[in-house]
Structure 1
């Protein structure tokens, strides 16, 4: 008799649970599209690309809040593009799982992006999951520095013309190239992201952004073999805050001026960020070339540097692989504020403002700069080096200001 009552009770609880879930879904117009229902297998070996695409395509037709649901497990996934526009808001939820990129040479030398989202409005990528780019298999093929016919390795996740969207609670490890790349996007928010690749891994930028507006990156940890954040041409209203960067090459604007169709970079804010053992801190880099451009309204504020190679640097003679053109850069840099910097430099020159003789940097403001040599105990002091840079300084200036 007790068993029968317990059975009835369990059935009643299950019925009520299902009823509650259905009621919530009906009320919020949410529907879940579990990739396992479309044939996905979490065995870290089988290619699940078609199963993921089927789930996405069905979800994209839902006129409500669609959730592509990836349960816990390790899923092998080949190159895939999730295309919009969709009929409702979309969420790509990696629920504590791992998406693993292929490691065979054929798969990664024929594509620019591993996982790509295009033309989607109101997209969320989240779920405490991990993107494993398996980059170690590809890094030996990164020979672009000496091979002009090289093929760029694929980024881990790309966003093309994605709007009003967010990426949060996602981890990306060992990308073959850039971890996250954005192009033509508007109003996107990246928060609580964890990005990691070895400090010597080639071109593994954390987040690379081009021709986009209103992008926010916050509360994240980025350690890579290249720029933690790379800001390319055509950007406006980019806000970076509470980011820990290291290892890597710092937070960089550029390189700019290599091509003649580049748009302006303006309204960039980098605030409350920490740099740990990076080769550079906050950097602006432009090629010595004859192409025009403009960089303006930049604000770097409340920055901590710990053992950073070049904490503050403007380099308008950027030339990573000599020989390069000796034409002075025609990128105009103006209205740049460096405020409340503190920490240690691993090099003697902590502030380098190497601007163009044809387009000198103007309206540079240095306020409360307190940088010291990592080996200050041995008596070493840091210095500033400036050329063709004009501005003003306020408050403490260590190293002594050029202005």
Structure 2
């Protein structure tokens, strides 16, 4: 971890006083300004380095046997409530009845048994439920393939779990959204999401596969303390709007050891989300790992404390991205992307404050979501884009305190990669390739020093600035 320390032996006050005596008041002010900027750098780095999310054990407890009652568990098998499991018969009512029983019974297991395929229409699985409920999915749950057969009263929901506390979802089963005919009409309006967990807390999800969603695959909404472990998400790379895991209005969420391939963002984090940690994430195909979009229709959006630690992205259309619309307000603050390897990725590092996902051109507006305290560390790989790093920030609300440390991105075809900046302020530590000298803030400090040295023909000691490992 790189930082700046000011040696107590020769501080900025002493240097400033020296310049004041021999070089005038203006030089003294410039040295003080540089000292303040370096100390600010140190403070910002310290804040970002300490930015981490408590990571609890994400392993849900295992259930030892599937007898009707074993180890204190009560088995509630959907087959016992009339489910056929042939993939053709409508098993929705059997699932509803089984849920009502499991939800009201302490220490119960809602079981979708292996080796069968259950056709289930849009269903709400509501809580609150009795203590220590386990949802064990070992079979396959499939959605109706025809959009016209969808319940018009539930246009955006397929499997919706709400108002739960302390529930574990686990198993080796598959949730299949049968989305192919939905994809043919790529408009987002009235398209359903596959699995939603909302207004819930202390939730664990382990081992499930979610695939072929009509739109978003897995949504975490208005929830707290969610642990997602070993989940796989799979959709074709050309399936529109099929975000892998979408987090909205939620706090204290950990995604770990997940493999995601979609036609949209592998992970998307939007308004009202805080304390989000992603660890050991595989992404591809897809649009990368995104914060946003935020600020659409002049809305206010806030996202804070986000960490991505250890990820591999392959052949995605973006790497790590923050995207906001013009005209929004609010802020994105305290984000760290680190230990990320990319292979043939377009736009590996991108902040886009001119995002416009609209058939019409978006109107230029002066207000914007403020982006600050963003760290990119230990990021390497190859890109198909000329601009390996792009910081396209608002002219009126610039990005601030962008930190780059040990970044090495090369063009796959061997040509030179570049960095683009617009209204972006920050600084670099360690190796940064391609160069990010276009960041507008602290690269000015050495220029001020050089100007003073040239004017006064004096070389002050540089011992007061020490680069060190924190």
Report the TM-score, using the length of structure 1 for normalisation: 0.89
CA distances 1:47-98 after superposition (whole Å, capped 9, x unpaired): 1111011111011111x22110111111111111100001212211112x11
- Please list, as runs of the form range in 1=range in 2, the aligned pairs for 1:1-400 lying within 5 A after superposition: 24-25=70-71, 29-62=72-105, 64-72=106-114, 73-95=116-138, 97-108=139-150, 110=152, 111-144=155-188, 151-289=189-327, 291-321=328-358, 322-376=360-414, 380-400=415-435
Q: Give 3-state SS (helix, strand or coil) of 1:46's partner.
A: strand
Equivalent-residue separation in structure 2 for 1:318 and 1:23 (angstroms): 54
Runs of 4+ aligned structure 1 residues displaced above 3 Å come to 19-25, 259-263
* TM superposition shift of 1:263: 3.9
Equivalent-residue separation in structure 1 for 2:120 and 2:151 (angstroms): 16
User: 236-245 or 252-261, which moves further after superposition?
Assistant: 252-261
Structure 1, gaps ≥5 residues long: 1-18, 145-150
Q: Is this contact kept in 2: 1:285–1:318, CA < 8 A? A: yes
CA distances 1:266-317 after superposition (whole Å, capped 9, x unpaired): 000011001100000000001011x311100000010001000000000000
Q: 1:137 to 1:383 in 2, by over 3 A?
A: same
Q: Is this contact kept in 1: 2:274–2:304, CA < 8 A? A: yes
CA distances 1:156-192 after superposition (whole Å, capped 9, x unpaired): 0011111101111100111110000111010001110
Structure with larger Rg? 2
* TM superposition shift of 1:109: 7.2
Equivalent-residue separation in structure 1 for 2:326 and 2:186 (angstroms): 25
Q: Is this contact kept in 2: 1:285–1:316, CA < 8 A? A: yes
Q: Is this contact kept in 1: 2:294–2:301, CA < 8 A? A: no
Q: 1:22 to 1:176 in 2, by over 3 A?
A: closer
* TM superposition shift of 1:262: 3.4
Q: Give 3-state SS (helix, strand or coil) of 1:138's partner.
A: helix
Q: 1:7 matched to which residue of 2?
A: none
* TM superposition shift of 1:122: 1.1
Equivalent-residue separation in structure 2 for 1:365 and 1:309 (angstroms): 21
Q: Is this contact kept in 1: 2:353–2:368, CA < 8 A? A: no
Equivalent-residue separation in structure 2 for 1:336 and 1:186 (angstroms): 24
Structure 2, gaps ≥5 residues long: 1-64, 440-470
Q: Is this contact kept in 1: 2:69–2:75, CA < 8 A? A: no
CA distances 1:309-360 after superposition (whole Å, capped 9, x unpaired): 0000000001122310200342110000000011001011000001111111
Q: 1:5 matched to which residue of 2?
A: none
CA distances 1:370-392 after superposition (whole Å, capped 9, x unpaired): 1000111xxx0100000101011
* TM superposition shift of 1:20: 12
Q: 2:13 matched to which residue of 1?
A: none
Q: 1:23 to 1:201 in 2, by over 3 A?
A: closer
Q: 1:6 matched to which residue of 2?
A: none
Q: 1:11 matched to which residue of 2?
A: none
* TM superposition shift of 1:42: 1.0
Instruction: Select the structure with the greater relative contact order (CA < 8 A; seq sep ≥ 6).
Output: 2
